[in-house]
Amino acid sequence: MESAATRPRPALTTTSVLPKDADRAALVARVHDPGWNGPCVAAVRGEQVVDLTAIAPTVSDLLERDDAATIVRQAEGGYTWRLDELLQAPAGRRDVAHLLAPVDLQVIKAAGVTFAGSLLERVVEERTGGDPAQAARVRERVGQVVGGALAGVRPGSPEAAKAKELLVSEGLWSQYLEVGLGPDPEVFTKAPVLSAVGTGADIGVLGASQWNNPEPEVVLVVDSRGRVRGATLGNDVNLRDIEGRSALLLSRAKDNNASCAIGPFVRLLDDGFDLDTVRGLYVDLRVDGTDGYVLHGSSSMREISRDVLDLVAATHGAHHQYPDGFVLFTGTLFAPTEDRHAPGSGFTHEDGDIVRISSPRLGALVNTVTTSEQAPPWTFGVRALMRSLAERGLL
């Protein structure tokens, strides 16, 4: 493995990272500033990033305010950084200012198996026991029986119950089909609070994994009352071989150092960017390998099987509260099946892959792949955040 110092870094510019309509967007960022020895809540205003920490010491605090969008657009802030300098700074170094994941105290949750295409691939993983060499054969068999049964079926509906009966009769029922077709979605905790990495940072794949892929997703940002306040992009890295061995290994497959990327910014909901806009978003994926390999993919939120508010309701309510809010990965349509190396080997990451997840209304989240063991260790947790804010007189 290359060291972080020699590994190729993505070229980030304001044009490539900002939403296409950034001049009309209320964008929230977080910046690590060495002068404060900690993170700052900030607003992105054109080429400038404006410190709002004195008004809202955490993003969680900001999103509890009904006037959050007005604050982001108009409030007089403190220190300013140039966005291009933040984008060009080496992420992870505490001696230079750089962008962080744009959320802080929110619990990081994820919904799984919310698209029919990725649902079929989860069944393939399960049926192969995580062995990519068996994937093509199993995929053909599962697709023949399951594919038609799932077309246009709404989870929890009578049609879904009939599809379940068909699949059981064919001997193809699966725990993934249960959460994909049944009344209750899969919602799990993806990563600890404050552990996500931002745009420009390394993203980690467990070194033991031999079959893995990125998962480009729209991420909802929700306050303590269960209100969706904004959206951003995320990479819910998937270790197909490990989860394929057993769904009980989900935490082993999903929660590792640097395995969750969120960013580049939180776009707040407003009159020009509402939940219906989110429901219609397209998400593009591009992976560029150091070997010249290029992978393209895309997802449309219009193909999601459960409405985004249904996913929020399954996460938050009388049954479960989040006093600091939460973020919710909404799932992905993308599951790469093309072979990268030998026939039948499928796609898997290589060290140095540059992963770009983008959407015109949300911008671009760009990360470089390494192993979780080689990625910069996560050291700045809740105690460090509280200590930093207290030293600035903000608590």
Phi, then psi, of 56 in degrees rounded to 5: -140, 105
Report the alpha-carbon angle 93-106-118, nearest 5: 90
For residue 159, the model assigns a pLDDT of: 83
pLDDT, tens digit (0-9, with 9 covering 90-100), for 202-255: 999 999 999 899 999 999 999 999 999 999 999 999 998 998 888 889 999 999
Given a cut of 60, whether residue 4 has pLDDT beyond it is no
Given a cut of 50, whether residue 379 has pLDDT beyond it is yes
For residue 84, the model assigns a pLDDT of: 96
User: Which residue, 104, 94, 83, is CA-closest to 33?
Assistant: 94
pLDDT, tens digit (0-9, with 9 covering 90-100), for 328-345: 999 987 777 788 887 877
For residue 82, give both structure tokens: 């140039």
pTM: 0.91
Give the C-alpha distances (Å, rounded to integers) separating 373 from 4, 248, 378. Answer: 12, 22, 11
The pairing of beta strand 202-205 with beta strand 363-371: parallel
Beta bridge partners of 107: 326
Q: How far apart are CA 62 and CA 51, in angstroms?
A: 12
Q: How far apart are CA 276 and CA 264, in angstroms?
A: 21
User: Which residue, 71, 60, 20, 42, is CA-closest to 382?
Assistant: 60
Q: How confident is the model at residue 5 (pLDDT cuts 50, 70, 90)?
A: very low
Residue 118 one-letter amino acid? S
Burial class (CB in 10 A: 0-12, 13-18, 19+), 280: exposed
Given a cut of 50, whether residue 102 has pLDDT beyond it is yes
Q: How far apart are CA 2 and CA 21, in angstroms?
A: 37
pLDDT, tens digit (0-9, with 9 covering 90-100), for 360-369: 999 999 999 9
pLDDT, tens digit (0-9, with 9 covering 90-100), for 276-315: 999 999 999 999 999 999 999 988 999 998 999 999 999 9
For residue 177, give both structure tokens: 């089909």
Sign of CA dihedral 246, 248, 254, 255: negative
Q: How far apart are CA 149 and CA 36, in angstroms?
A: 56
